[in-house]
């Protein structure tokens, strides 16, 4: 298998804006969707209370330098009702266009007492071309199970031959490290016949590389030319972007050392780099990603020749 050549970083394209309440302090988890040659960029921001919510931007690549415009002062997917699995955050992971509808996969957040947070994978659907989204249910689509006993999140989704395929984040345990609870999560696999009800065969796609790694999150999967390519965030001390390839989407080879992008020597992505999303449009391959502070310094982009 072959890894990526080096990406060329092209700077920050979207920063937090206190004038837009849902993205007042962070813009994170860039999720591009190419539709009819246009790029829609779904983004999860944080409001002044620290709650993550999801909105959408338009991206114009015609000049070679993207112009990003926020569509609305209100989020498309706000936090859920009090006591729900997403009452402290609803952050995007994937948007799929299928059968005349848009399926927005997201991560619901709740705050807990003994550990810092709780995550579960949710789904919202648009029947009006993205003008609005309704939650499929007040419950998550990937609840606790014997194989996923702690939490689920951040699904990357493809529809292939009538089968919905998802690569999602699953927490395997919590540990107390240096007196604080620490989550351990990795990437697993699920399938569905309708995109609503999912079967989880307990397949681990990306496992911990060593004893120091504890978080592997937010996969982004592309299938082209008989090859599956996955970008993800992985961390010990701080997030870096990882990369893997597969011929079937189930068994993956990690090629992190050849991902072709890392932290900068200084600036907005010098401390960490995470949440990559890759698309091909306008004859090139583009990556949107976050840097320091999980979106506190904004969203940047990079390109391949």
Q: Give me the pLDDT at residue 1, please.
A: 45
- pTM of the entire predicted model: 0.96
pLDDT digits (tens, 9 = 90+) for 211-258: 999 999 999 999 999 999 999 999 999 999 999 999 999 999 999 999
Given a cut of 50, the residues of the chain with pLDDT beneath it are 1
Q: Give me the pLDDT at residue 66, please.
A: 76
Is the CA virtual torsion 141, 143, 148, 153 positive or negative? positive
- Take residue 143 and report the two structure tokens written for it: 């609840």
Q: Are 127 and 154 in contact (CB under 8 A)?
A: no
- Take residue 63 and report the two structure tokens written for it: 């000049």
Q: Give me the pLDDT at residue 248, please.
A: 98
Q: Are 58 and 110 in contact (CB under 8 A)?
A: no
State how far the Cα of 188 lies from the Cα of 171, in Å rounded to an integer: 10
Q: Give me the pLDDT at residue 4, please.
A: 63
Give me the long-range contacts of 95-101 (CB less than 8 A, separation at least 24). Answer: 95/31, 95/33, 95/40, 95/42, 96/157, 96/158, 96/159, 96/195, 97/33, 97/35, 98/159, 98/195, 100/127, 101/125, 101/126, 101/127
Q: Give me the pLDDT at residue 139, please.
A: 96
Topology of domain 82-303 in CATH is: Tachylectin-2; Chain A (2.115.10)
Q: Give me the pLDDT at residue 104, please.
A: 98
Q: Are 31 and 287 in contact (CB under 8 A)?
A: no
């Amino acid at each position: 298998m072959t890894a990526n050549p080096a990406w060329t970083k092209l700077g920050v394209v979207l920063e937090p804006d206190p004038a837009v309440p849902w993205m007042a302090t962070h813009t994170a988890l860039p999720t591009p969707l190419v539709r009819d040659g246009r790029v829609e960029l779904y983004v999860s921001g944080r409001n002044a209370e620290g709650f993550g919510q999801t909105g959408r931007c338009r991206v114009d690549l015609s000049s070679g330098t993207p112009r990003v415009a926020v569509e609305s002062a209100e989020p498309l997917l706000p936090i859920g009702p009090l006591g729900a699995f997403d009452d402290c955050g609803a952050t995007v992971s994937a948007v799929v266009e299928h059968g005349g509808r848009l399926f927005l996969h997201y991560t619901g957040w709740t705050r807990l007492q003994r550990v810092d947070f709780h995550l579960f994978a949710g789904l919202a659907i648009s029947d009006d071309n993205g003008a609005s989204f309704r939650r499929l249910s007040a419950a998550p689509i990937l609840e606790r199970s014997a194989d996923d006993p702690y939490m689920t999140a951040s699904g990357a989704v493809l529809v292939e031959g009538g089968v919905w395929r998802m690569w999602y984040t699953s927490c395997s345990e919590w540990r107390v490290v240096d007196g604080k609870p620490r989550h351990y999560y990795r990437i697993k696999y699920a399938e569905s016949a309708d995109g609503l009800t999912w079967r989880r065969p307990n397949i681990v796609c990306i496992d911990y590389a060593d004893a120091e790694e504890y978080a592997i999150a937010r996969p982004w999967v592309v299938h082209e030319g008989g090859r599956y390519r996955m970008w993800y965030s992985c961390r010990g001390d701080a997030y870096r972007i990882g990369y893997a390839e597969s011929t079937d989407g189930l068994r993956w080879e990690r090629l992190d050392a050849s991902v072709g992008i890392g932290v900068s020597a200084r600036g907005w992505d010098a401390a960490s780099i995470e949440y990559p999303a890759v698309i091909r449009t306008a004859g090139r391959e583009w990556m949107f990603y976050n840097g320091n502070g999980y979106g506190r310094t904004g969203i940047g982009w990079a390109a391949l020749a």
